[in-house]
Structure 1
Amino acid sequence: MKKLKFHFRKLTNIRQQLYTIYFAALFLPIMIIGIFLLMNTYTLLANYHRDLLESDNLRVKNVLFEITTQVYNISENLIFDENIKEILSTDYEQRTNLIQKAGNLTVVDNNAQNHAEIEGIEIYTDNPTFTDYKQFYKADEDIQKSDWYQKAISQSSVFWISMTTTDKYGNEYWNLSLVRRIPLTDAEYNAVLVIKISDNYLRTRINSQEYAAMISVNEGEVFFNSDRSQYGIKQKVSIDYDENYYQYTGTKKINGVTYFVDVSTLNLYQSDSRLYICTMNDQGYVSIKRILTICVLILAVAILIPGIIIHYFTEYFTSRVLILRKAMHQASNEDYDIRSFIQGEDEISEAFSDLEIMIQNIKKKDADMYEAQINKAELLNEQQVMEFKMLASQINPHFLYNTLETIRMKAFKANDREVARAIKLLGKSMRYVLENTGTSFTTLSKELEHIKVYLDIQKLRFTDKFDSEIEVMEDIDPGKLLILPLLLQPVVENAILHGLEEKEKGGLIHILVRKQLEEEELLCIEVSDNGNGMTEEALAFLQSTIEEKDISRNKSIGLYNINQRIKLTYGQKYGVKIFSNIEEGTRVSLFIPINRMKETAVVTANEG
């Protein structure tokens, strides 16, 4: 208690004391309790979503176990059916004999028709007298060489694979398929049974509105996905296939989205094949964030409202005393410009009025002296400004170049060649910008050389993010064509910062200088990137922003200025055009009349 009183004595300011009480009695306890509640809420909600995800994963597993077990039982009936064995073991001199024998067989048709989970039953044999009929197929050379056929005839146990079939329209279909050998004891032929599970049936049994499911067999690709476009890919969650039973429950960040993920293993009945079932939920994390945000807002309101009340009460309680104290402190420091005012008719207001009268008397006596001091200070300030301008005018571009060259040589001597190269590139870029500030035209070759330097500087910054190439057609002499200075840098900068924004590596900036013949001969400078490109709507909006002036716009100003500079210099029908396609990148093309560029070059040469 004594220690607490000591600390309060040190807080002589009334405002400090009130705020300290607020902090210690309200803010700190609410923050501690709030953080605990937020952490506990997050844990409860995360466990809740994990439990739901585990339940859905278990549901999918039960469905798959039920279907695969049923298919296995059907296969048991088929491989031991004596009629099927007799059909497969018989040598046929004529196809009619096979049709007569197989046509009377109904067990295969009945199983295929009576079980909605079965998409098809196929029986392959290497019997050379066999021909394709109904569910019976002669195993051609490709089938006999296939991995699944070789595996089936080399073992007696059942195994499962994902099979793909392509229809005549090029559509690819995926099916989980049971494969097993049909033992033919009375013949030297091999026969293999394949039962394909219907993907549509799996979809009706497995799909959920809230959870996505990805299923693969063994280490193969995904044969079932809630999103059909994701068939044939690897599992998005890493799986340890060496474990007999792999299980994982938690969160994974996939393509920038946080998912709750549950992965489990289903060892298929009477088989060494395994199904890896991955169920995911991308809305659970969003829901948790939304609830936690609401909790944080509630805590903020619980802290803010009392804080506001304390604040206004403190200001009301201490404002009049503080105004008087501040005025007296100003007067004690010979600062007589007091603008405060205390309302009321009590002792504080009377003391403040007496202080104002005293200050007015002092200000009247010292008015002349203060005015002289102010005039003297103004003259001194003007002199210092003039001296600074004179000194600044002595710093010319040559001083900057020489200084950068000195720094570069020091880096070179220190064997830091990368820094030396960076300084050299910066010096070249600064020289070009300063030399062309205020000039109307420069040669195309100098402009391209500046762009090469600018690209080298950007590569130092972004390392392996992108590469670049500048290509000038053979029928163009860039040294004889004059162009507006600093015309290409904003376009290249826009391609790097926006066109390649999503790329971490593998980007490409390609600059092509070529001629284009339309109504007249045009110089076309194309700056292309291999970024994500733009939609038609975004492209149309961007093209409109570089054509129309909008002072409220804070984007695409560089492209707008370039477009306007070209139009003002060469005419309204020239300028900038943008071409872009999704996943194909963006191309910005500058169109300039070559005859005007040559005329400008002649006029500039004559003036020189």
Structure 2
Amino acid sequence: MKFFNKGNIQKQLLHIYIIAGLVPIGIIGTILLVSTFSMFMGYNRNLLESYGQRVSTTLFEITTQAFNISEKFTYSEDVWNILSHDYRDIDEEKNTIDKIDIIESFNYEYTAIESVEIYSDNPSIRDYKEFYLATDDIKGSEWYKKAITQKAAFWRGLSRQDKNGITYYNICLIRQIPLVDSKYNAVLIIRLSDNYFKTRLREQQYEVAISVNDGTISFSSDNSSYGDSLYDIVPVDHANKHYTYNGMQMLGGTFTMLNCNTLSAYRADSVFYITTLDHNSVKRVILIIFFIVVILLVALIVPYEILRIFSKYFAGRVKMLKSSMHKVSSGEYDIPPSLNGEDEISEAFSDLVVTAHEIKQKNAQMYKAELDKKELLSRQSEMELKMLTSQINPHFLYNTLETIRMKAVTAKDKEVAGAIKTLGKMLRFVLDKGNSEEVSLANSIDHVENYLSIQKMRFGDKINYEISIDESIDTYKVTTLPLIIQPLVENAIQHGLREKDGKGILRVDITKVMLGDNKEYEALKIMVTDNGGGMSEGRLEELKESIKTPSDDGRSIGIANVYNRIRLKYGDPYGMTIDSAQGAGTVINLYVPVQIRNN
């Protein structure tokens, strides 16, 4: 190993080839040919066995479905009534049979069934559709006698002739139809479609032959094999219900690989003997051995030059990968975008390019995050300073308003007194709750209603409002940031309804929604809608950009400050969306987390 590890990769590959080429190719070739022959023969044998299992699975599936369908026919009261009734004439029989479609529905919808035949010894039944009179020949048949004497279903390979005298074979399910309280007997035959089997088992490489119990071949992909004994193909032992065979026989002057296995019928005392044949596998293996010999001869002539060219190309790519990895480890992320080739080295180089790009992006993101953090802290400090500088002694303001209200009451001006009282409630909320971390949703809604009642008094029919809250939301337990709804309502009145001609309507709808890529975050959706003048697309885009910066006009907190307070407090995925159209009004959606107050 020390010898091989000396020098560059190209030299190592050439040294390995020179030493490996000295090994006697004849011995290796002989071992390879013998092992290949054994391997491919075993492989083809396994394929043939697998195909036999596939045939067994398909046969089990079809016969099981046929048995289940026979259950519906056997225990159908409609079928019982048809078979037990004594008919006066053929018209009465036809009318009775035409009223039911249970047999025809299965006969035509399930294509694996070629036909359904019901034979009865009821002398008043004439051959019509699937119902037939059991003639003396039918009654004397082995399968009819067996069906009459036992309740269990069984399978048989049955032949039939068409009107042209051509003989056909089918695998058939046979069972007695137990007619309750009837003096007649009836036997059901479900013939499986030979063509359906050939379609399901279509495989040009293999041939299939199936017999039931010790009967003749009832299905074969070779039409000439119908009616032949299975002994002509494989030495089957019918006494063994679990008989299997996997070997080779000389058939038609050609070595043929055979696989035979058995399948016990579903809920029936019958055994299917399934034989699969491969006439061409030996020829294919010989052809493969021939190609291997050709490949070995070619391998003695051209390998050195091919390996030399490849090793040079390979070593150059490894060198480029090594150089690029060294640059990345040194903090230099500008490397070539790709490496020639489509193998593990090129994949490793692609991963290196992605890693270098991600490191550059993460460095840039960390730098930007640091700047954003400083900017957010600066904004938050600015907002808190504005709140502090705007504080007024709450008792002074409230007591002053109360004095004015009492004078209005004394003057019997109830409207003015009510307005002053509402204004006092608003001021108390702002002064008492404005600097709180959170307030109940009920307090926020009460504050909005007070504000709207004053605006209603001011503008009259221009301001009409509705507030709707989902019944599942307990407004006294759910909390939000203070003063995040009223600024949206104020914005709707100031910029939407105040200049509107006619009746203005403002709605506040509060519901629960799920946010996030996987809908994992439960949120309150606060939707403020007005039917004002709306805004143009350009003005809407300007507004969407402006809400990302807190308002500096000092007159109100503003929707921009509401947006930034939510982003500062909760982060993704919470925030605000704005939609508007000229002449159609404006909709503002606010998304905040559902917070439940313990006390």
TM norm structure 2: 0.44
Select the structure that is richer in helix: 1
TM norm structure 1: 0.44
